[in-house]
Structure 1
Amino acid sequence: MSARVMAVWCPDWPAVAAARGGGHGLHLPLAVVGPRGVLACNAVARAVGVRRGLRRREAQFRCPELVVAPADPSRDAVWFEPVVQALDAVVPGIEVLRPGLFVFSAAGALRFHGGVEQVVTRVVDAVAAAGTECQVGLADELPTAVLGARGSVLLEPGGDAGYLADLPVDALVVEPALGDPDELAELVGLLHRLGVRTLGDFAALPLRDVATRFGEAGAVAHRIARAVPWRPPSVTAVPTGSAVEHRCDPPLERVDEAAFLGRRLAGELHAVLAAAGVSCLRLRITARVEGGVEVNRVWRCSAPLTPEGTADRLRWQLEGWLTGTAIAGGAGGAVTALVLEPVEVVPAGRVQEGLWGEAGLAEARVHRALVRVQGLLGPEAVRVPVEVGGRGPDDRVRSLPYGDAPADPVAEGPWPGALPAPSPSVVWPGPGYRLEIREGGDPASGVVARVPLAGGVVLRTAAGAAVGVGPRGLLTGRPEAVEITGRRCAVAGWSRPWLIDEAWWEPGPGGAPRRPKARIQLVPERAAALLLCCLVGDEPGSWTVEGVYE
């Protein structure tokens, strides 16, 4: 039997961190919203019907005074660090699974404090002194302890399987630390359709059949349901000299400076580990702060850390240490030294390689080069496109500094009035550009040029009348020709217009009421297909080009 594990869970932690970060009182209903809707909410919001998984609009309908905060893992980690720091004097060897949840080996704590009730009392009191509440679970295996913490269950040795047998399979998706939420949700839905309702029923299925039918995610969930030993300590020795240390001269005082250094250190650490043929599962981050204070934290991950994952965790810790929220007494200070030290490693062969074998190493070299450029020229020097939600082609991609996570992640929709697939291959940054029809009958020779817009694109009927979109959302005539930069070209085909009535509650330019827009797809005979846009009811002939289908 493996060493017993105690898990400490702080309920609704993203909502608690959002309230503290935004200065909201505990009496206000608050929900944290991500790409899948409500991720967490406080007790006040739950009392009026707000639940996890609701769409933002539905949550606000149920509670009009609801305070909505975007999901922010960095904020959650920064405000959670003082809670973990408060436990350091009570129990040693704390491992953070995610902000709001940490585990530790119970054997030493039980011997030192004299029993289960004494340990739980000390843990709850220490967390309460940090200004929050918690629930504690005790079990033989880590996943069972994590699930048990949600019910404050303290199991006797050997009681894991019996406790898990009565839990519904839906318990697998309530805790992100146990696996990918999307994969587990898909697995649970399939189990429901097959008539498997409890973890006991799932555990009774043959392991070979589960692995064949449900893949890796199903096999991992099956191990949890059977309460088999969960990731025992690695037998792979940590390579000698694998720790990466940097002495800061001058000391670091700003979070952005520390974040850039963290990215470089993460790259150096993973280069050392790659040379030794191992990957890191548990990482200790240590910082020395002016005044002689040394703080450290151990992060435990279910999958081997990537350079980006290491840099993120280091950035979260640095923000807490620099602001003082992670240091006893609340006195922040400049960081004089940083140390990244792998605590547990596994052979690198357990990590899935890229399709082309060396792709992982190539990506690592590219990452180090980009981070180097940012370190020399600043974070804005390297920007990458990130897909976000939206209706128009220019709304779906946002440019962000390399390594930064979007504050508003991808929203799936449904985005009424959104541009149907396929999207234009060329999207211009605003209406200040136009097309130029070039000589030649081959459509490829009609590829557009980015020329300052002198006038709009004009659609005309066979009689020469300009074509627009009327108040009913229909074309005012049959487009037979298109005029671009003074040149006229016949029209080979077009789509019916679709309306985009968005942000109608906001005033338009000059304070006038905002008017709906309409888009059409148009195919000139001697140029690439176009995506055109105009205001509904506007003067005919005022079309603008939003994209090109090359």
Structure 2
Amino acid sequence: MASPRPRSGRIIAVWCPDWPAVAAAAQAKLPPTRPVAVLFGNRVVACSATARAEGVRRGLRRREAQSRCPELFLAQADPDQDARLFEPVFAAVDAEVPGVEVLRPGLLVLGARGAARYFGSEAAAAERLIDAVATVGAEAQVGIADELSTAVIAARRSAIVPENGGAGFLAPLPITELAVEPSMATSARVELVDLLHRLGLRRVGDFAALTPGEVASRFGADAVLAHRCALAKPERPPSVRPPSRELTVDYRCDPPIDRVDAAAFAGRTLATRLHAVLAAEGLACTRLSIFAETEAGEEFSRIWRCARPLTPDDTMDRVRWQLDGWLTRRDGRPTAPITLLRLVPVEVVAAGALQLGLWGGEGAEDERARRALVRVQGLLGGEAVRIGVLSGGRGPGERITMVALGGELVPESDPGLPWPGRLPEPAPSVLLPHRPPVRLCAEDGTTIRITERAVFSARPARLRWGSKEWSLTGWAGPWPVDERWWVPDASAGFTARAQVQLDAEPAMVRALLLFYHAETWHAEGLYD
């Protein structure tokens, strides 16, 4: 008879429900009875229990959530704040049982064997950890199982799964459980679960009944990982070799660091160096230890665990969150500036496990560019380097939200909303922020205006920009800007946009985006 496969030990998951909403309420110093919702891209991504009692759910738009609960307190998603306020919870659990690892702010995992032996049983260990979290003013639920993903799902039900009973525990659960925890699934997992539900696989057990070959051939790589989760098997095989000491990267802080922004810049540099070392060895990191030492000889360390191999951006985020938590917490913060930062890969896998997109992966040139930009940030400040994020809006300028490099890519408005009057594609390649005035003229030289019917007052024929004038070979529009129609402000004026093509030389700009406001035309953008 074949011997059973070796197990790495049972796992305890400590889950603080609705942590983003809890952190937002704590930051705003709200009473526990106040409903709270956290928004990302104008949609609810987390809410408190009191908000759910009023009908607020994840995925609702802001207006719908407010209509269901008028007294709802709204906050924007802030991962840095979540991590900073979660540090006392981590410290409380780590004081009871060493070897705690962070999956994300709000979710911890640790080995169950030592805790069960020390406290007498797994149930006693779970109660002790819940009490430890309560001492810092937070609520927690604990789940225990053989595998990481099963323990995380069990924590949402405060369940202790018997040994070798993970598959039976998962089988009757809704298929949506495979995508409910963001730290355990890719962004495509929600679409996979929706597809499985439409195919009639409504329970985890229904999906587990398929063979691995059927899953791989029909649904793809992420579905194979989800299938292993449904079978209560490890999402990935254990590391076959311990990481080499040569993979460790250090950063000597000169001058010593005592500010969060300076620590974040150093952390970005360190993360970039770590992934350069890992890439040279053909490896990717799945468990990362962050270590700091101060001038006073104090040492701080935390282990972050990730269900998927860390990307450079993932590592940067975790280093920034951890340093922010250490430097800003009330109790146990460093008494002297930080002089040494160190990243240690605790567990590594083959780089093939880190599947980057065909065109979206970062090559050597991308890495060099990122290092250069991070250095510019270190010299000129965090806001000196910005990148664009697709946002919602009607004009081309409104559809771009500029975010500091390394920050959370959060748009100001949801790009998925209808946005009546939005400029049709293609967007201009160059925007003119100052919108210089121009004249759009008819054949007789009279200035063209937009009538109350939202049409040109005459046929466009010529465009004058300063001392230059061109004939038009074509145009499109006008498109009225349908916004804020309910505001009784006569000074706001009617606005519209139009595209015109100039009879210009090939080397010159031959197409413009025009903006009409207060009976005046402006050049808003240039087309290639």
Q: TM-score, normalised by structure 2?
A: 0.91
Shift of 1:129: 0.7
2:326 to 295, 313, 321: 321
1:474 to 438, 443, 455: 455
1:494 matched to 2:475: yes
Distance 1:132 1:519, change over 3 A: same
Deviations 1:233-276 (A, max 9, x none): 31122112432233434431111111111112222322333333
2:513 to 531, 540, 543: 531
Indicate if the aligned counterparts of 1:532 and 1:547 stay in contact, CA closer than 8 A.
yes
Indicate if the aligned counterparts of 2:87 and 2:329 stay in contact, CA closer than 8 A.
no
Distance 1:361 1:495, change over 3 A: closer
1:375 to 375, 378, 402: 378
Tell me the secondary structure at the aligned position of residue 120 of structure 1.
Answer: helix
Tell me the secondary structure at the aligned position of residue 497 of structure 1.
Answer: strand
Q: Which runs of 5+ in 2 are unaligned?
A: 1-5
Mapping of 1:187-266 within 5 angstroms?
Answer: 187-266=192-271
Deviations 1:405-445 (A, max 9, x none): 345367222222211111112211221x3xxxxxxxxxxxx
Indicate if the aligned counterparts of 2:37 and 2:74 stay in contact, CA closer than 8 A.
yes
The more displaced of 138-147 and 21-30 is 21-30
Shift of 1:217: 1.4
Deviations 1:457-488 (A, max 9, x none): 22233444322112342322332333333444
| Whole-angstrom distance in 2 between the partners of 1:130 and 1:167 | 32
Distance 1:378 1:506, change over 3 A: farther
Distance 1:208 1:151, change over 3 A: same
Deviations 1:106-161 (A, max 9, x none): 11111111002210110100011111101111111111111111111111112111
Amino acid at match of 1:521: Q
1:414 matched to 2:418: yes
1:12 to 18, 22, 44: 18
| Whole-angstrom distance in 2 between the partners of 1:167 and 1:230 | 19
Q: Tell me the equivalent position of 1:514.
A: 492
Shift of 1:499: 1.9
| Whole-angstrom distance in 2 between the partners of 1:499 and 1:161 | 58
Q: Tell me the equivalent position of 1:155.
A: 161
Distance 1:300 1:516, change over 3 A: farther
| Whole-angstrom distance in 2 between the partners of 1:316 and 1:88 | 17
1:74 matched to 2:74: no
Q: Tell me the equivalent position of 1:442.
A: none
Amino acid at match of 2:46: A
Q: Give the % identical residues.
A: 51
Q: Tell me the equivalent position of 1:485.
A: 466
2:122 to 116, 141, 157: 116
| Whole-angstrom distance in 2 between the partners of 1:16 and 1:254 | 25
1:396 matched to 2:374: no
1:339 matched to 2:321: no
Tell me the secondary structure at the aligned position of residue 51 of structure 1.
Answer: coil
Shift of 1:71: 0.9
| Whole-angstrom distance in 1 between the partners of 2:216 and 2:484 | 48
Indicate if the aligned counterparts of 2:22 and 2:48 stay in contact, CA closer than 8 A.
yes
Shift of 1:104: 1.0
Deviations 1:258-295 (A, max 9, x none): 11111122223223333333221111112234555422
Indicate if the aligned counterparts of 2:257 and 2:338 stay in contact, CA closer than 8 A.
yes
Distance 1:92 1:399, change over 3 A: same
Amino acid at match of 1:63: C
Amino acid at match of 2:220: G
Tell me the secondary structure at the aligned position of residue 78 of structure 1.
Answer: helix
Tell me the secondary structure at the aligned position of residue 188 of structure 2.
Answer: helix
Amino acid at match of 1:517: T
Q: Tell me the equivalent position of 1:444.
A: none
Tell me the secondary structure at the aligned position of residue 279 of structure 2.
Answer: helix
Amino acid at match of 1:230: E
Indicate if the aligned counterparts of 2:184 and 2:308 stay in contact, CA closer than 8 A.
no
| Whole-angstrom distance in 1 between the partners of 2:290 and 2:376 | 25
Indicate if the aligned counterparts of 1:321 and 1:332 stay in contact, CA closer than 8 A.
no
Tell me the secondary structure at the aligned position of residue 311 of structure 1.
Answer: helix
Tell me the secondary structure at the aligned position of residue 305 of structure 1.
Answer: coil
| Whole-angstrom distance in 2 between the partners of 1:116 and 1:94 | 16
| Whole-angstrom distance in 2 between the partners of 1:333 and 1:134 | 32
Mapping of 1:352-367 within 5 angstroms?
Answer: 352=355, 360-367=363-370
Q: Which runs of 5+ in 1 are unaligned?
A: 434-455
Indicate if the aligned counterparts of 1:379 and 1:401 stay in contact, CA closer than 8 A.
yes
Indicate if the aligned counterparts of 2:12 and 2:145 stay in contact, CA closer than 8 A.
yes
Distance 1:226 1:36, change over 3 A: farther
Q: Tell me the equivalent position of 2:292.
A: 287
Q: Tell me the equivalent position of 2:389.
A: 386
Shift of 1:173: 2.0
Shift of 1:346: 1.5
Tell me the secondary structure at the aligned position of residue 458 of structure 1.
Answer: strand
Tell me the secondary structure at the aligned position of residue 496 of structure 1.
Answer: strand
Tell me the secondary structure at the aligned position of residue 215 of structure 2.
Answer: helix
